Amino acid sequence: MGSAAADALLPLDPETFAAESHAVVDFLDGYYRNIQSYPVRPDAELGRLRTLLPDAAPEDGEPVDVVLEDVRRHIVPGLMHWQSPSFFAYYPMNASTAGFAGEMLSAGLNVVPFAWAASPAATELEAVVVDWMAKLVGLPERFLFSGGGGGVLQGSTCEAVVCTLVAARDRALIMLGGHEGILRLVVYASDQSHSTFQKGARIVGIPPANFRVIQTSAASSYGLTADSVRRAVDADVASGLVPLYLCATVGTTGLGAVDPLRELGEVARRYDMWLHVDAAHAGSSLICREFQDCLDGAELADSVSMNPHKWFLTNMECCCLWVASPAALTSALSSNPEYLNNISTENAAAMDMVDYKDWQIALSRPFRAMKLWVVLRRYGAVAMRAYIRRHIDMARWFELELEADERFEVVVPRRFSLVAFRLRPRHEGDDVEALNRRLLMAINSSTGRAFLTHFVVDNKFIIRLAVGGAMTEMQHVRAGWVLVQEKAKEVGATPGRY
């Protein structure tokens, strides 16, 4: 489009829309076909892209193929390829054809379901789909709308945590009789909890000194114990502080550890603390019965969250948050400015209507339910369970290989699809930390054949292999194992010398 056509810009002209959108689909089709030819982690130089692009936005538009060619030439080579089948870092973020279809529908319809009246079907689909997910993962009835609770789709766990912290905080402040109570509120997490809890507590104004990091250990497989929580809480209560919020995790980020919900729930109840269960990654595996024992005691929790955008084929962003008491959430997060009132539905206000703006931080919000609904409709629960189990089988295979190799140790028993391992010391006094750092560096520098990240626990440097890419097949995990062995030899860990 040259400047001559400027005043004829028709942003949603159907002819252009279809032709250009088909071109983008073909571009992505090519990307997926070639993805294995890219280094998983780019060999990027800081600031390089800026030197390739002009200093200012163009005055004149350009055809879509020129733009796509620039994506291919300038952007793609500098991306980390999160959808690569050899991406084993952090926790993978699954894309899928169905998730993409849902995202397209959501972006194309571009409705804003901040209130029921602002897009009734979008609000209702969200309420339906969070109930579906709650049933699939085996949550107690109290987190379903039919059980007096309910769910909402947020963008991230972090937002879900901020919302539940605000709800818990405001409930506590009412009981304490004034805002100065905020100085006495204490949030409890383990040294394995996600950093979002500490950040979230800080965001909502909990004094940083009142965030307790409770140590875990190998003895409890890095899960919290009721005893350790009770000790921390008792000490705080003794010094006049008020226990507010306890974070429990099903599948921690670093090691995949699981906190015991029932015993933590009992402690939380005793001290009137809000219990949040973070199942961001492992939550997806709970659709398989064999993992649902992780939820034993979940009926004692106040809120639960999991991210379908991680391991449930729902492209970014999609986080399910369920609460037992929607009123606790909405009484802390409601706002009713005049410009949002819909006079034609005023009478309905008293009815059983969900206005999701009061369940989250932001007012505006996309139609996220579409994405999760299309994934569930297109694939169905049977195939999703098989998909999750396939990843877990691959991780199990990798773990068995490690166990059969005297050079390696599996640091914590694998439970889901994350394997945490390292090279063992050969001799007393070996600098095994440096050795493992060198190993990970060698793996990740191997011209991008795979990408893994690390963790540190009990001062041990640990390498993490997280299976869960939408394109990851057994052959990629096998190639990953070949790579790990090869690089172990390179850094000096030769078999037969242990």
**3-state percent breakdown (helix, strand, coil) of the chain, nearest 5:** 55, 10, 35
H/E stretch holding 14 reads: helix 14-34
Q: How many whole angstroms separate alpha carbon 32 and alpha carbon 85?
A: 10
Q: Which two structure tokens, joined as six digits, stand for 230?
A: 């009770």
Relative orientation angle of helices 474-490 and 432-444, to the nearest 10 degrees: 130
Residue 152 lies near a second copy (rule: CB under 8 A): no
Binding piece for a second copy, criterion CB under 8 A, among 188-196, 224-232, 293-301, 427-435:
188-196
Shortest approach of a second copy to residue 411 CB, angstroms? Answer: 14
Q: Nearest-CA neighbor of 91 among 445, 465, 477?
A: 465
CB closer to a second copy, 325 vs 345: 345
Binders of a second copy among residues 58 to 87 (CB under 8 A) are: 58-64, 66-67, 70-71, 74-83
- Contacts of residue 4, Cβ cutoff 8 Å, sequence gap at least 6: none
Confirm or reject binding of residue 274 to a second copy (CB under 8 A): no
Task: Pick out residues in 467-496 that bind a second copy (CB under 8 A).
Answer: 470-471
Please report which helix (H) or strand (E) contains residue 211, including its range.
strand 211-214
Quickly count: other Cβ atoms within 10 Å of residue 21's Cβ. Answer: 13
Q: What is the DSSP string of 405-449?
A: STTEEESS---SSEEEEEEPPSSTT--HHHHHHHHHHHHHTSTTS
Q: Which stretch binds a second copy (CB under 8 A): 152-160, 264-272, 297-305, 480-488?
A: 152-160
> Which 332-391 residues touch a second copy, going by CB under 8 A?
332-333, 335-344, 348, 351-353, 361-366, 370, 374, 376-387, 390
**DSSP character string of 455-481:** EEETTEEEEEEE---TT--HHHHHHHH
Nearest Cα neighbor of 449 from 110, 57, 87 is: 87
437 binds a second copy (CB under 8 A): yes
**Residues of span 97-136 touching a second copy by CB under 8 A:** 97-101, 103-105, 107-112, 116-122, 124-125, 127-128, 131-133, 135-136
- Determine how β-strand 185-190 pairs with β-strand 211-214: parallel
Tell me phi and psi for residue 45, to 5 degrees.
-105, 130
Select the span of 153-161, 289-297, 477-485, 490-498 touching a second copy (CB under 8 A): 153-161
The reply on whether position 147 binds a second copy by CB under 8 A is no
Calpha distance 480→464 (Å, rounded): 12
Q: What is the closest distance, in whole angstroms, from the C-beta atom of residue 95 to a second copy in the complex?
A: 4
In the complex, the smallest distance separating the C-beta of residue 93 from a second copy, rounded to whole angstroms, is 6
Of 20-28, 256-264, 295-303, 423-431: span binding a second copy (CB under 8 A): 20-28
Question: Which one, of 118, 135, 170, 166, lies nearest residue 353 by Cα?
Answer: 118
Nearer to a second copy, 213 or 410 (CB): 213
Stretch that binds a second copy, among 178-186, 212-220, 296-304, 489-497 (CB under 8 A): 178-186
Structural contact between residues 298 and 137, judged by C-beta atoms closer than 8 angstroms: no
Nearer to a second copy, 125 or 273 (CB): 125
The structure tokens listed for 176 are: 């304490």
- The contact mask relative to a second copy for 385-424 (x = CB under 8 A, - = no) is xxx--x----------------------------------
Q: Computed over its alpha carbons, how large is the radius of gyration of the chain?
A: 25
If the CB atoms of residues 297 and 438 are measured against a second copy, the closer one turns out to be: 438
Q: Which is nearer to a second copy, 67 or 479 (CB)?
A: 67
Segment near a second copy (CB under 8 A); pick from 51-59, 222-230, 256-264, 294-302:
51-59
Nearer to a second copy, 118 or 300 (CB): 118
| Segment interacting with a second copy, rule: CB under 8 A, options 223-231, 242-250, 298-306, 433-441 | 433-441
Nearer to a second copy, 56 or 404 (CB): 56
Contact between 49 and a second copy per CB under 8 A: yes
> Between residues 79 and 479, which has the closer beta carbon with respect to a second copy?
79
- Contact status, residue 422 vs residue 460, Cβ threshold 8 Å: yes
Min. distance of Cβ 268 from a second copy in angstroms? 22
Exactly one of 40, 153, 162, 483 binds a second copy (CB under 8 A); that residue is 162
Residue 239, φ and ψ in degrees, nearest 5: -95, 20
Q: Which is nearer to a second copy, 110 or 215 (CB)?
A: 110
Instruction: Let me know: does 165 contact 206? Beta carbons within 8 Å.
Output: yes
Report in angstroms how near the CB of residue 429 gets to a second copy at its nearest: 23
Site for a second copy in 240-269 (CB under 8 A): 253-254
